[in-house]
Amino acid sequence: MNIYTFKDEEGFVQTAANQITSLLNANPYAKLGLATGSTPVGLYNKLIEMHRQGLVSFANATTYNLDEYVGLPKDHAESYRTFMNEKLFNHIDINKEQTHIPNGNAEDLEDECRSYDRMLEQNGPIDIQLLGIGHNGHIAFNEPAESLTSGTHITTLQAKTREANARFFPSIDDVPTHAITMGVGSIMKARQIMMLIRGEDKAEIAKRALTGPVSTDCPASLLQCHPNVIVLLDQGAGRYFK
């Protein structure tokens, strides 16, 4: 595991963007695992900028998102399909038919989970998987538990996770209670994992995940077992890694 801290936002997002653009320039058909939330927005802005400068093309790339809320229409302002379209896909030359996000409105959610896993198995492995981390150590929507599910599954969002996401909704009551998420086993199959951690409020969980015991009580700690992980922390989140 390689851990880097940055004093400024530009260095943080440029380093992350370089990881992805270098991969695409070497392999235009690369498979990208993407994430949502506020943490990767700066990265996506940088990728759009580099694309407009002619430094990278996404024309032949395929993307797989980690998760989606259950019950939100795909065109809902806070759905992860809307997020990805607005924050990245609408601004680059990617074929949207090659962008995959779990369907949180499938008639049969269990079948959707199985279908997503089959797709990942048939088309994988993902070349680089982007991750953030929740305040409770979750990755994607794999919440702390006595045991974790390996494949794509439906998960009940913990109160802390819903509270963290409430800022994107009119009220906490509007935050979905369930999500469909890629499992830890699927995440761990990626050739490389890049975790982005931002903010002083993530410093404690970053320390626990990256240096503490490996435990399902902190799902992100399982990344210590992966052979190719790069972690980028901003100055606040990297307080213990200077």
CB 164 within 8 A of CB 202: no
Straight-line distance from the first to the last Cα atom of the chain, in angstroms, rounded to the nearest whole number? 16
Pick the catalytic residue: 127, 138, 165, 234? 138
Catalytic residue list contains 2: no
Whether residue 136 lies in the annotated active site: yes
Q: Is 107 part of the annotated catalytic residue set?
A: no
Exactly one of 68, 112, 127, 143 is catalytic; name it: 143
121 counts as catalytic: no
Residue 210 exposure: Cα atoms within 13 Å on the Cβ side: 26
Active-site choice (18, 85, 105, 136)? 136
Q: Say if strands 178-181 and 67-69 run parallel, antiparallel, or are unpaired.
A: antiparallel
Instruction: Please say whether the beta carbons of 96 and 89 come within 8 A.
Output: yes
What is the number of residues in the chain?
Answer: 242
Which position among 67, 68, 117, 127 bears the catalytic label?
67
Residue 217 CA to residue 213 CA, distance in Å, equals 10
Q: Which two tokens stand for residue 112?
A: 């959707």
Q: Which residues are known catalytic residues?
A: 67, 136, 138, 143
